Chains A and B, each alone.
Chain A
Amino acid sequence: MSKHYSAFTLARHALQPDLPWERAWASPEPKKSYDVVIVGGGGHGLATAYYLARNHGIRNVAVIERNYIGSGNVGRNTTLIRSNYMIGGNTAFFEHSLKLWEGLSHELNFNCMVSQRGQIVLAANPVQMDVFARRGNIMRLNGIDAELLDCGDVMKLLPYLDYSKDARWPVCGAIMQPRAGTVRHDAVAWGYARAASDLGVDIIENCEVTGFVIDEGKVSGIETSRGRINAGKVGIAVAGHTSHVAKMAGLRLPVESHILQAFVTEPIKPIVHHVVSWGAELFYLSQSDKGGLVFGAHIDGFNTYTQRGQFPRIQTVAECAVSLMPFISRLRLLRHWGGIQDMTPDGSPFICRTDVRNLYLNGGWCYQGFKATPASGWTYAHTIAHDEEHELNRCFSLDRFAKGRELDEFGLGNWTYKQ
Chain B
Amino acid sequence: MSDSATVRVQRTMPGFGALLWSSVFKSSGLHRIGAMLLMLSILALSAGIFLNFDGTAGPSLMEINIPWIDSLGINFHLAVDGLNVYLLLLTAILFPVVLACSWSAAPSRSRIFLALMLLLELGLIGTFLSQNLMLFFIFWEAVLIPMFIMILVYGGERAREAAMTFFLYTLAGSVLLLAAVILLGVESLHQTGQWSFEFSTLYGLQLGWGTQLFVFIAVVLACAIKCPIFPFHSWLPLAYCEAPFAGTALMAGALSKMGAFGLLKLALPLAPQVSAVMAPAMVLLAVVSILYGAVLALRQDDFKRLVAYSSLSHMGYIVLGIFSFQQTALHGSLFQMLSHGLSVAGLFLMLGLLEQRVGASYRNLTALAGQAPRLAVVLMLFILTSVALPLTSGFTSEFLILFGAFQHGMATWQAGSGTLPLIATVIACSGMVLGAGYMLRFARVILFGKGSGLGIHDLKPREAVAFLPLLLLIVWVGVWPAPIMAKAQAAVTQLTAQVTDFKHPIPLLASPLKVEEKVEENVMNNGGANGR
- A and B together in one complex: no
Chain A residues with a Cβ under 8 A of chain B = none
